[in-house]
Amino acid sequence: MSLAQEMKQLSDQMYASLTAEQRELLESFLADMVSEGLAIRPLSPGQEMPPFVLPNAAGRLVSSSDLLVRGPLVVVFYRGSWCPWCNLQLKAIQDSIDEIHELGAELVAISPMTPDNSLSFVEMKGLTYPVLSDVGLHVARKFGLVYPLKEHMVAFHEAIGLELSKYNGPNAQDLAVPATYIVDDGIVVSRVDPDFRDRMDPLEVIAALSKLGK
């Protein structure tokens, strides 16, 4: 089953489990996410990637400049371990990480979660690539990937029992738009997914990396 098929199956299951009120909130939430996502003007191919230094799950600082010295860099922004669609994507990446490394590339996944929460997530999912903590979304803002949670968006999260502050620290009122970037000499490939139920398949990442240098 492809990642897109898994995402669709998950979406159908999640939607069926919601009450009528929750479904209405979700539909409003998704409509706003798409409109906000189209308005934020994220970085795109041909632009320079802003360098970043972020802590990994163990608290060690990881520099994008150091990683780019080794070869191309894949940067995946995800919302957090509380997002089941993110979990599917990161598992699919883990299943393909050897092929990504064989092509000479490094990969990092970035979320606004605190390092402690990221560590628990990494250990639980058995992830072998760096998972970085962008608390406060400072790096995500430089990529143009941040939108504020509106009142009804907050209401939706509360309706399903999700407290973002438990994952991202206090005053967590913004979210990152899921996105995938492939960076070599500047940004080569980008995909931004305002609708969080759809993500770039790792097979697409591998195909893009295979074309570099040809």
User: In a structure prediction context, what are the per-residue pLDDT tens digits for the chain, which is 214 residues long?
Assistant: 788 898 889 888 888 888 887 787 777 777 777 776 555 678 989 999 999 999 998 899 999 999 999 999 999 999 888 888 999 999 999 999 999 999 999 999 999 988 888 878 888 889 999 999 999 999 999 999 988 777 767 777 777 777 777 888 776 678 888 999 999 989 999 999 888 889 999 999 999 999 996 5
| pLDDT confidence of residue 45 | 93
| pLDDT confidence of residue 203 | 95
Bridge partners, 157 (sequence order): none
Q: Which of 7, 86, 137, 187 is catalytic?
A: 86
Domain boundaries, the chain: 3-211
Q: How far apart are CA 61 and CA 52, in angstroms?
A: 10
| pLDDT confidence of residue 7 | 83
> Is CATH 3.40.30.10 the right assignment for the domain spanning 3-211?
yes
pTM of the model: 0.90
Report whether 158 contacts 29 (CB < 8 A).
no
| pLDDT confidence of residue 214 | 56
| pLDDT confidence of residue 171 | 64
Nearest Cα to Cα of residue 114 among 170, 177, 178: 170
Bridge partners, 34 (sequence order): none
Query: Is 86 an active-site residue?
Result: yes
Report whether 81 contacts 105 (CB < 8 A).
no
The DSSP code sequence of the chain is --HHHHHHHHHHHHHHTS-HHHHHHHHHHHHHHHHHHHHS----TTSPPPP-EEEBTTS-EEEHHHHHHHS-EEEEE---TT-HHHHHHHHHHHHHHHHHHHTT-EEEEEESS-HHHHHHHHHHHT--S-EEE-TTSHHHHHTT-EEEPPHHHHHHHHHTT--THHHH-TT--EEEPPEEEEEESEEEEEEE-SSTT----HHHHHHHHHHTT-
